[in-house]
Chain A
């Protein structure tokens, strides 16, 4: 198993796009957070720690690309057949990919979130640093990466997978914005991966779902995607 992890780490480390994407996570998260923190006036001061972490909304897209590419690129180039010939235990390969991806994303997410908190602290001095939203945001980004990995494994196509992931992450908030039926809105918010997962950023009372419960919903999504991907990877031709 340790060899498989080392192989996956070497592949990810030496892929030309990886470093750029990790830098992209940090730049996107900090940049959008800074733009959001520049806001002043009504509505801005409602939940300052959450406002300062707005950049996660964009950072998650970059993280999703990385998650998709970890396996999607192998399908695109046919490399996956070499990988599976060298390491025939397919589930171990997927597990190793998940472990390496989670570690790498966590390493990028920590400075990204810390930078966002620092920038919003500079721009909005009257806000206190709260630990839970920041730690939760790092976990959120890791889970989004795993969701993307599972989806790409199931789809065997990077393009279809990234389209689906971005639709899932960004579609639900919009549907919610126009659903005025309270019961349905709450139900959808509790179920959506991004809406439930980002509840971990809220520091004001959120009646719909608790912070860790919301992150748990996203974890279930990621786990479900990885399971579906694992089953399909196990049973299908590469």
Chain B
């Protein structure tokens, strides 16, 4: 142990007294902070006087949500149920101005809903037919239970039923109105005695991936869906009022159109838009017992990305890869410089236990880059948020736990990458080859995935290459029930954060073991 500490002290002295290496650490930190604070992103939040601040509704779980729908409802006190037959679900996608195309987005929704209130962000449970994901029970924005697949038409209608019993809502569906299948049930704590319940239709933002010069971008806009309902039947404590129509969350269209790969960091377009290009307009009509509802928007967590709004704290860390290049060069040179000058022979003469020496080197270079990365990431994540907000960019707030994971994760990414580069340097001995190998293996997969590669190839690279550890920087979860373009450029990585770090750590462990073996076997 004391021998290891002596080796550690010797390596620390070597590192500390090389002006270029200390400068490299400073440069890496400066790149991470500097690139993060560059005024690259611009938005319009709060830039147009009072009322233009971007505020998203907050759901029951405290998360930001999108809550826009066309809602035909009346009050229900206590227990009760509502049953309806859905005979049609059609939609309209954004197209050329004035010429919308017909078509249904996969997560267009039409069905029954029970809400705690008509205000945005209220607790709810809903059973619905979707555009192409069959019957679903969804509640409180983030929960999604799959029912049977299938579509709906006049020839193949679908019955839906939602039953309240205390705090529990049970969803059922049927293809003939007699044989019922339970989809699932949801417990909504804090549901008031009197709730608003009835029919709803909504249709999320339509996005398609397009190739724009370097990398892929996204374009799209609001879509509309129309659901046709009949045979509405009520049971239980209904108040017997007339049906009321509300278009919740209706907003004038802000954005849409082509957005860059970074998404549209603009005002939250909460959906429910009445765009000038839209042939259909949100609202409801009633003919006898038939209700025809048209809606636009979504009932879902509000997320960043091409189909969502704003950015996350991940955007403040764009400089990481630049700092990573410097750190990787440093890690490789920390050992190849000794080979270049022949110092390695002196080092081995003084400390003959070669693997212990390699461990000491790894500790020094890993420790130094971890501390530098920690400071740089902490500074840029806290200051960068202010810069983005001052520029009018809508920034999704991150929980403290997420912020800590992103900051510590960035530091860990840099430290483990430095150790990996050190191992490459030990095996290859020649500085140029080691640096290039390290940059190509560690940094280039990230660069390629972020820019030129098609999404599938890029995601594969970010699963298997050391760059998988960039997953530590993901600040917003991906939801399967929200259609979005979940690409690295939008801040979504294919692996879970710590799984990503594990991939990098595995690379480092294998390379370190190889370095230890060749170091013992070879002449210096």
Contacts and interface: CB of A to CB of B under 8 A. Distances in A.
Given A61-B439, A170-B444, A173-B451, A195 B321 contact: no
* CB-CB nearest 4 A-B residue pairs: A46-B211, A163-B329, A179-B40, A159-B431
28 contacts: A38-B457, A39-B456, A43-B455, A47-B211, A58-B444, A62-B436, A65-B432, A76-B340, A162-B329, A162-B432, A162-B435, A162-B439, A163-B329, A166-B435, A167-B325, A167-B326, A170-B325, A173-B447, A173-B451, A174-B446, A174-B447, A175-B35, A175-B318, A177-B451, A178-B41, A179-B262, A181-B41, A184-B40
A44 B214 contact: no
Contacts of A153: none
Given A54-B452, A159-B332, A76 B325 contact: no
Given A160-B20, A175-B38, 14 more contacts: A43-B216, A65-B432, A76-B340, A159-B332, A160-B329, A162-B432, A166-B439, A170-B444, A171-B325, A173-B215, A175-B35, A175-B318, A177-B262, A177-B450
A58 B452 CA distance: 12
A208 B337 CA distance: 43
A178 B453 contact: no
B262 to A, nearest CB: 4
A69 B432 contact: yes
Nearest to B432: A158
Contacts of A195: 214
Contact of A170 (B326, B329, B447, B453): B447
Contacts of B176: none
B435 A36 contact: no
Contacts of A158: 431-432
Contacts of A41: 454, 456
Interface in B303-346: 315, 318, 321-322, 325-326, 329, 332-333, 336-337, 340
Interface in B254-275: 259-265
A162 B446 CA distance: 19
Nearest to B322: A171
A83 interface: no
Contacts of A179: 38, 40-41, 262
Contacts of A36: 452-454, 457
A43 B209 contact: yes
A69 B325 CA distance: 19
Contacts of A208: 213
Given A76-B431, A202-B213, A170 B41 contact: no
A39 B450 CA distance: 16
Contacts of B211: 43, 46-47, 204
Interface string B221-241: 000000000000000000000
A173 B214 contact: yes
A72 interface: yes
B448 interface: yes
Nearest to B40: A179
A197 to B, nearest CB: 12
Interface in B338-395: 340
Interface in B177-232: 208-211, 213-216
B448 A57 contact: yes
A195 B213 CA distance: 10
Contact of A42 (B209, B336, B337, B450): B209
A206 interface: yes
B228 to A, nearest CB: 32
A160 B432 CA distance: 9
Interface string A43-66: 110110001001001100110110
B245 interface: no
A180 B42 contact: yes
A72 B432 contact: yes
A159 B457 CA distance: 31
B443 A177 contact: no
B440 interface: yes
A179 B217 CA distance: 13
B265 A180 contact: yes
B169 interface: no
Contacts of B152: none
A227 to B, nearest CB: 23
A79 B452 CA distance: 40
B433 interface: yes
Contact of A159 (B261, B336, B455): B336
A189 B262 CA distance: 16
A194 to B, nearest CB: 10
A197 B454 CA distance: 20
